[in-house]
Structure 1
Amino acid sequence: MGAGAVRLGVAGFGNVGREFVRLLLERRGLLEERYGLRVGVSFVADSRGALCAAGGGVLEWGLVERALEAPRGGVSRLPGGRPGLGVEGALEECGTDVLVDATPSRYEDVEPALGWWLRVLGSGGAVVAADKAPLAVACDRLAVYIYSKPRLYYKATVMAGTPLIDLLRWGYAGRRVERVVGALNGTTNYLLTRAVEGASFGEALREAQERGYAEPDPSADLEGFDLAAKASIVSCTLGGWIPLGRVERRARVDGEAFERARRATAAGRRLRYVAVVEPAAGRAYVDLLEAEPGSVLYDIRGVENAVVVESAEAGPVMLRGPGAGARATAAALLSDLVEAASVMGVL
Structure 2
Amino acid sequence: MVGRANKPTALASTPGLAPQPQVSFSDDNSRVTAVLPTGESIEVLLYGATVISWKDKDGTEKLWLSEAAKLDGTKAVRGGIPLVFPVFGTASDHAQTSKLPQHGFARTSRWEFLGKSTSESTPASSTAADLSVKLDFGLSPAALDSDTKSKWPYVFNMIYSVTLSRDSLTTSLVVNNDDDKPFECQLLLHTYLRVQDISKVEIKGLSSATYIDKVNGSSSQQTQSSALTISGETDRVYTPATPPTDPVSVVEGGKTTFTVVRDNLSDVVVWNPWTEKANGLADFAPKEGYKNMLCIEPGSVVGWQTLEPGEAFEGAQTITISN
* Structure with the bigger percentage of strand: 2
- Fold shared per TM-score above 0.5: no
* Structure with the bigger percentage of helix: 1
